[in-house]
Amino acid sequence: MNTFKWKKLGRVFNPADVNGPDWMNEFAQAPSVLVFDKFIRVYFSCRPQPDANGQYVSYSGFVDLNRTNLFDIINISKNPILPLGNLGTFDEFGTYPASVMRSGNKVLVYYGGWTRCESVPFNVAIGLGISNNDGESFEKSGDGPILSYSMNEPFVLSGPKIRMYNNLYYLFYIAGRKWIVSNGRPEPVYKIRMASSQDGINWTKADKDLIESKLEADEAQASPDVFFSEGKYHMFFSYRYSANYRGKEKGYRIGYASSTDMVNWTRDDSKAGIDISEEGWDSEMISYPHVFELDNKTYMFYLGNQVGRHGFGLAQLEGILK
């Protein structure tokens, strides 16, 4: 099979360009799409100004884009879709990233909940929220996470992507493998994992790394976005080096793998068909791909430099995923 061809259409949303609420000051990370008749709702995670200690919290919100012109922003969420958690809970300091899916009249959101730790800066577990108002706001299903740590997934369960295939729920996510100390700072190494469920609440983990590492053993893999097309599961994800990854050379790129059963994946980044630009907002890194289909076209939202600090952009596939 040949390489996919993604045509970059440009940056769609930069929080700095709109006079948004305080909690939407910077960042528009991890786009996730919900399609409506006249618009698409793109969820993303953003941050207010950092606190006096330079620490961020993160919220999730959305923009509605005109279905016939995805560069036409017709609405911006007034409030975060989820409140931060209560004292001591897993999502006290952030709800990021979020992945949404319709379920009957409801909309489900699976999100990473952030807490702060002493020896490492944070830990993450996956929470569940349910919306009865078309995804304007979500109510948490409990104070605790829906997917948490286990023997081989000891910390940092994040980057959930919720899917339903053959009447089963699937969560693709990442799990921390180890913390390495680089330049005096603990940095997490994480790998792509999967769990399945009959009810979306009780999950059975596959308990294996889905994607082999390419750059190095400690390659960090993130945002596993799975799309089914032409009898195959296609996964676009992001990956980076374990250390010094905040610049162009070792920063995030978008990788690709395919599978027929979702358990066994063949990685072939050469097919991904999208890379950093020569210049501009996505010239140093690209990450957090999200593939969706709209009106017979296949698109990808993705993040650019500084992991979405300045928003997300859009690319369109030439042809179909197969």
Partner 1 sequence: MKWKKLGKIFDPTKYKLSNDCVEFAQSPQTLVLDDFVRIYFSTRKKDANGKYLSHISFIDIDKIFNKIIRVSEKTVIELGELGCFDEHGIFPMHILKDGDKILAYTCGWYRKTSVSVETSVGLAVSLDGGITFKKQGAGPILTSSLHEPFLVGDAFVRQYENTYHMWYIYGTHWLNLPEDTTPARVYKIGHATSDDGISWIKEGKQIITDKLNAQECQALPTVIMFDDVYHMFFCYRQATGFRKNKDRGYRIGYAFSKDLISWTRDDSNVGIDISENDWDSDMMCYPHVFSCDGKVYMLYNGNEFGRLGFGLAVLEK
Q: Footprint of partner 1 on this chain (CB under 8 A)?
A: 86-90, 92-93, 115-120, 123, 125, 128, 141-146, 148-156, 176, 178-179, 181, 186, 188, 201
Residue nearer to partner 1 on the CB measure, 209 or 293: 209
Round to whole Å and give the CA distance between 193 and 263: 9
Residue nearer to partner 1 on the CB measure, 118 or 279: 118
Round to whole Å and give the CA distance between 177 and 173: 13
Q: Using a CB cutoff of 8 Å and minimum separation of 24, what contacts does 207-210 make?
A: 207/150, 207/152, 207/153, 208/263, 210/172, 210/235, 210/257, 210/263, 210/265
- The least distance separating partner 1 from the CB of residue 238, rounded to whole angstroms, comes to 21
Instruction: Determine contact, residues 180/218, Cβ cutoff 8 Å.
Output: yes
Residue nearer to partner 1 on the CB measure, 25 or 141: 141
- The least distance separating partner 1 from the CB of residue 110, rounded to whole angstroms, comes to 12
Residue nearer to partner 1 on the CB measure, 40 or 162: 162
Sequence-distant (≥ 6) Cβ neighbours of residue 286 within 8 angstroms: 238, 252, 253, 254, 274, 275, 276, 302, 303, 304
**In sequence order, what are the beta bridge partners of 226?**
235
Extract the tokens encoding 145: 């996470």
Question: Which element (helix H / strand E) includes 51?
Answer: none
Extract the tokens encoding 87: 């004292």
- The least distance separating partner 1 from the CB of residue 112, rounded to whole angstroms, comes to 14
- The least distance separating partner 1 from the CB of residue 245, rounded to whole angstroms, comes to 18
What secondary structure does DSSP assign to 178-221, as a single string? Answer: EEEEETTEEEEEEEEEEEEESSSSS-EE--S-SS--SS-TT-EE
- The least distance separating partner 1 from the CB of residue 243, rounded to whole angstroms, comes to 15
Q: Report DSSP state, residue 124.
A: E
Residue nearer to partner 1 on the CB measure, 103 or 259: 103
Residue nearer to partner 1 on the CB measure, 99 or 123: 123
- The least distance separating partner 1 from the CB of residue 309, rounded to whole angstroms, comes to 24
Residue nearer to partner 1 on the CB measure, 123 or 223: 123
Round to whole Å and give the CA distance between 168 and 113: 24
- The least distance separating partner 1 from the CB of residue 129, rounded to whole angstroms, comes to 11
Round to whole Å and give the CA distance between 22 and 12: 20
- The least distance separating partner 1 from the CB of residue 201, rounded to whole angstroms, comes to 7
Residue nearer to partner 1 on the CB measure, 174 or 315: 174
